Amino acid sequence: MTQAAYAAPNQAPPPILEVRGGRKNFGAVHALRGVDLVARAGEVTALVGDNGAGKSTMIKCIAGIYGFDAGEVLFQGEPVNITDPAEANAMGIEVVYQDLALCDNLDIVHNMFLGRELKKGIQLDEQAMEARAAEVLASLSVRTVRSIRQHVASLSGGQRQTVAIARAVLWNSKLVILDEPTAALGVAQTEQVLQLVRRLADAGLAVVLVSHNMNDVFEVADAINVLYLGQTAAQVRTKDSSRSEVIELITSGSANGNAAAPALSKTTPTANGSNPA
Amino acid sequence: MSTSTRPPESAAPSLLAGSVEQPTFGEAVSNYVRKVRGGDMGSLPAILALVVLALAFYALRPEKFFSALNIANLFQQGATVTVIAMGLVFVLLIGEIDLSAGVTSGVCGATLAIALTKWDWPWYGAVAAALVVGVVIGTLLGTLVARVGIPSFVTTLAAFLAFQGVVLLMIGTGGNISITDNVIIAIENKNLPPWLGWALGAVAVLAYAGASLYGWSQRRARGLLSAPLGVIIAKIAAVAIAVLGLVAVLNQERSVNPVRSIMGVPIVIPLIAVLALILGFILTRTAFGRHIYAVGGNAEATRRAGINVPAVRTVCFMICSTMAAFAGIIAVSRATSVDPNAGGSNVLLYAVGAAVIGGTSLFGGKGRIIDALIGGAVIAVIDNGMGLLGYSSGVKYVVTGGVLVAAAAVDAISRRRARATGRL
């Protein structure tokens, strides 16, 4: 016991997911040229970057839709090679894509269990699924849904996002990747979804939040990972960072300015921010 | 199932489990009215059409239309179209169409007849051969649509032409194969003994009542939202009146010839009921059925959920063609022969019409087996009633075409309305 206590400070649990030097080529196009990411349990890690920086490619590689060409992926400290979305799901990696991938003609319960229905013999176990779905929604403090048997078509954007996220945490998930969850939402709904994201992390999941919105990122993220032209510019702690620093990383790829123009980027940080996207 | 990462239960009071406010009878009724006004009409237009048509034909031919003889006739006439329509529901649900289902029934019927007469197979062997041909055709169509990627409209239009040729080749131009097998002929021409009709009717009503009440009590026990008991009992009463009333009518003597007695439920009715129960079970109670709806709603989302979408599509085409094979067998039984035109002319369009009139959407993702039954009844009533009134085939086609367009219009409009009110 004493030994364990001594050992503890050096043995922080390994991050849920760690990517080191991930590369991905599409023919001659080098989409990812060395990306690193650390996602820890209980934390929201924001993945930011300008359009075309490689955010989508990166999450697709993590989710097993593409698979990295080179580099190392560690899941809970163990090296893994994810080449298939089902493999990623089995490990506990869930992705909520921007288009949510919900079926409008099915109700909330059916959507949450789509592809992984609970069965009693050859029959669907509707009651178990309904009870479990209600339980998960309640545990996420979702109160805005009138009935979990209503069709998804009748839900608002925020509610649909909530259903998609609830589906992701219904299983034994350890890492949830959210692709621009607030992009299409209004102010109040954005707030609700961000609170939900925070609760997921507080419940012990590792959350990766892909976002363009600096307000969202600084509101919920514990760490910010910045991609610049297919490379990881930096992963910084939110509390040690500032908005202008992150914006500079996004637009120029380095926080303190590179050798070419250190003075310029330090004195006028917004000059880079106004560069054409 | 339990997750280690789940937030603690105490994070929030349970939203639904155990604390559901169960609706009262009145609320359930007003919810239904709201649903209908929101564009989710289900089979309601078809049932209204059925009532209006039946009353109209009754008014015009009071002595004939509601006679026991004619009601039995209605079922025997409508059986082929209804069975094809039940299969078409599967294909329509995934947003596809099978234009060849009618002639597929012809090919399967011809197979049955050839097996019975030329090869001297027993009836069960011949039936199996017809069904196997149906499965093979469905596999072929499904593979061409789902794996090769040819639009179903083109695939099945090509099959429609080709299978007409196949029937011709099987039977020979101007040919006609008559069958004499008593079992096959009995399907469309014989009736259950009256006592068996009553027994089956009673079993059906009791089974329905037992299943509804059991499901209801289970849901209540688990604290899940459930319909009020009054609604459940009203539904059971409606089913009991419909089933037992039908048995009572069909068990009356309906022979026009006093020498030979005709009474009892036509054998084809329990056959259709069993097929409908099996297909309904697949659609509503199995994971595969759920995946069919999902493919019709959002194929990409279904694929990402890890479901093999091409396999679901292929199986839907297989089910459709297999049901066409059953329809082909029923058609052979009714005609006691096969001719080169089997399954051609209006059969397919009547079947598509039946499914759509019943409330199955041409856009995919919405439809039920009961739709095919109700829509099939509408088609049969139009065909039968206009025949009683002495109209020619030409007029019947025009009227049926008009009803089909009206049904498709109801589908399109209610879909738009459902979009606007957030119901789909």
For residue B27, being part of any structural domain is answered with no
Q: Is B256 on the interface with A (CB under 8 A)?
A: no
Nearest to B287 among A119, A148, A172 (CB): A119
Nearest to A138 among B12, B296, B365 (CB): B12
Q: Name every chain A residue with its beta carbon within 8 A of the beta carbon of B306.
A: 85-86, 89, 115-116
pLDDT at B13: 35
pLDDT at A143: 67
The amino acid sitting at B346 is: N
For residue B6, being part of any structural domain is answered with no
User: Taking the alpha carbons of A144, A148, A153, A158 in that order, is the dihedral positive or negative?
Assistant: positive
Residue A20 pairs with which residues in a beta bridge?
A72
* pLDDT confidence band for B201 (50 / 70 / 90): very high
Residue B39 has pLDDT above 70, yes or no: no
Taking 70 as the pLDDT cut, the residues of chain A under it are 1-11, 142-145, 255-277
The CATH number of residue A156's host domain is 3.40.50.300
Contacts 24+ apart (CB under 8 A), B125-132: B126/B181, B126/B184, B127/B184, B127/B329, B130/B325, B130/B328, B130/B329, B131/B322, B131/B325, B131/B326
pLDDT at B20: 54
For residue A274, being part of any structural domain is answered with no
pLDDT at B40: 67
Q: Are residues B150 and B102 in the same domain?
A: yes
CA–CA min distance A214, chain B (Å): 27
Domain boundary among B265, B280, B299: B265
Q: Are residues B182 and B216 in the same domain?
A: no
Residue of A166, A157, A54, A28 whose CA lies nearest to A108? A166
Tell me which H or E stretch contains A264. Answer: helix A262-267
* pLDDT confidence band for B3 (50 / 70 / 90): very low
For residue B22, being part of any structural domain is answered with no
Q: Are residues B256 and B336 in the same domain?
A: no
Q: Do A139 and B5 touch (CB under 8 A)?
A: no
Residue B407 has pLDDT above 50, yes or no: yes
Expressed as residue numbers, the domain containing A23 is: 14-241
CA–CA min distance B139, chain A (Å): 23
Could you tell me the CA-to-CA distances from A170 to A155, B49, B356 in Å, in that order? 19, 45, 37
Residue A123 pairs with which residues in a beta bridge?
A120
- How many structural domains compose chain B? 2
pLDDT at B422: 56
Convert B55-94 to b/e letters by CB count within 10 Å (16 or more is b).
Answer: eebeeebeeebebbebbbbbbbbbbbbbbbbbbbbbbbbb
- Whole-number Å distance between alpha carbons of B164 and B102: 10
- Residue A257 region by backbone torsions, left for phi larger than 0, else alpha for psi between -120 and 50, else beta: left
What mean pLDDT comes out for the span B79-83? Answer: 95
The complex's ipTM? 0.82
pLDDT at B231: 87
Q: Are residues B228 and B323 in the same domain?
A: no
pLDDT at A268: 37
Q: Name every chain B residue with its beta carbon within 8 A of the beta carbon of A146.
A: none
The amino acid sitting at B69 is: L
pLDDT at B2: 41
For residue B173, being part of any structural domain is answered with yes
CA–CA min distance B389, chain A (Å): 42
CA–CA min distance A158, chain B (Å): 14
* pLDDT confidence band for B421 (50 / 70 / 90): low
Q: Is B362 on the interface with A (CB under 8 A)?
A: no
Q: Is B302 on the interface with A (CB under 8 A)?
A: yes
Residue in chain A lying closest to B15 (CA): A138
Higher pLDDT, B25 or A164: A164
For residue A175, being part of any structural domain is answered with yes
Higher pLDDT, A56 or B288: B288
β-bridge pairing A231-237 and A78-80: unpaired
User: Taking the alpha carbons of B73, B80, B200, B242 in that order, is the dihedral positive or negative?
Assistant: negative
Q: Are residues B179 and B202 in the same domain?
A: no
Give the phi and the psi of residue B232 in degrees, each rounded to 5.
-60, -45
For residue B9, being part of any structural domain is answered with no
Q: Are residues B198 and B315 in the same domain?
A: no
Taking the CA atoms of chain A, what radius of gyration do you get in angstroms?
20
For residue A266, being part of any structural domain is answered with no
Share of chain A above pLDDT 70, in %: 86
Q: Find the length of chain A.
A: 277
- Whole-number Å distance between alpha carbons of B150 and B96: 11
Q: Are residues B214 and B123 in the same domain?
A: no
For residue A191, being part of any structural domain is answered with yes
pLDDT tens across B113-155, in order?
Answer: 999 999 999 999 999 999 999 999 999 999 999 999 999 999 9
Chain-centre distance for alpha carbon B121: 30
Taking the CA atoms of chain B, what radius of gyration do you get in angstroms?
23
For residue A182, being part of any structural domain is answered with yes
Higher pLDDT, B337 or B14: B337
pLDDT at A271: 39
Give the phi and the psi of residue A35 in degrees, each rounded to 5.
-115, 145
Q: Are A101 and A108 in contact (CB under 8 A)?
A: no
Q: Are B317 and A137 in contact (CB under 8 A)?
A: no
Residue B189 has pLDDT above 80, yes or no: yes
Residue of A40, A41, A46, A42 whose CA lies nearest to A58? A46
Share of chain B above pLDDT 90, in %: 49
- Whole-number Å distance between alpha carbons of B11 and B29: 36
Q: Name every chain B residue with its beta carbon within 8 A of the beta carbon of A153.
A: 418-419, 422-424
- Share in percent of chain A as helix, strand, coil (round to 5): 40, 25, 35
Contacts 24+ apart (CB under 8 A), B366-369: B366/A105, B366/B93, B366/B296, B366/B424, B367/B89, B367/B92, B367/B93, B368/B42, B368/B43, B368/B89, B368/B280, B368/B283, B368/B284, B369/B86, B369/B89, B369/B276, B369/B279, B369/B280, B369/B283
Q: Are residues B228 and B172 in the same domain?
A: no
For residue B4, being part of any structural domain is answered with no
CA–CA min distance B284, chain A (Å): 9
Lowest mean pLDDT among A42-46, A112-116, B284-288, B308-312: A112-116
What mean pLDDT comes out for the span B28-32? Answer: 77
Expressed as residue numbers, the domain containing B222 is: 191-265
Q: Are residues B386 and B300 in the same domain?
A: yes
Q: Name every chain B residue with its beta carbon within 8 A of the beta carbon of A132.
A: 1
Q: Are A45 and A222 in contact (CB under 8 A)?
A: yes
Please report the number of interchain residue pairs, chain A to chain B, with beta-carbon separation below 8 angstroms. 141
Q: Do B304 and A101 touch (CB under 8 A)?
A: yes
Tell me which H or E stretch contains A244. Answer: helix A243-252
- How many structural domains compose chain A? 1
For residue B66, being part of any structural domain is answered with yes
What mean pLDDT comes out for the span B221-250? Answer: 88
* Mean per-residue pLDDT of chain B: 86
pLDDT at B423: 53
- Whole-number Å distance between alpha carbons of A85 and A97: 13
For residue A252, being part of any structural domain is answered with no
Chain-centre distance for alpha carbon B300: 28
Lowest mean pLDDT among A167-181, A247-261, B78-92, B326-340: A247-261
For residue A101, being part of any structural domain is answered with yes
CA–CA min distance A140, chain B (Å): 7
Domain boundary among B265, B300, B327: B265
Residue B91 has pLDDT above 90, yes or no: yes
Residue B18 has pLDDT above 60, yes or no: no
Q: Are A35 and A54 in contact (CB under 8 A)?
A: yes
Residue of B134, B25, B86, B24 whose CA lies nearest to B274? B86
Q: Are A133 and B224 in contact (CB under 8 A)?
A: no
- Whole-number Å distance between alpha carbons of A227 and A217: 14
pLDDT tens across B207-225, in order?
Answer: 999 999 998 888 888 877 7
Q: Are residues B308 and B285 in the same domain?
A: yes
The CATH number of residue B315's host domain is 1.10.3470
For residue A261, being part of any structural domain is answered with no
Nearest to A153 among B225, B290, B424 (CB): B424
Nearest to A135 among B17, B291, B366 (CB): B17
Q: Are residues B57 and B206 in the same domain?
A: no
Candidates A105, A112, A126, A141, partner chain B, best to mutate (most B CBs within 10 A): A105
What mean pLDDT comes out for the span B358-379? Answer: 90
Q: Is B304 on the interface with A (CB under 8 A)?
A: yes
In chain B, residues 207-236 whose CB comes closer than 8 Å to chain A: 218-219, 222-225
Residue B12 has pLDDT above 70, yes or no: no
CA–CA min distance B159, chain A (Å): 31
- Whole-number Å distance between alpha carbons of B261 and B313: 47
| Residues ≥6 apart with Cβ < 8 Å to B80 | B105, B327, B330, B331, B334, B347
Q: Are residues B115 and B197 in the same domain?
A: no
pLDDT at A127: 87
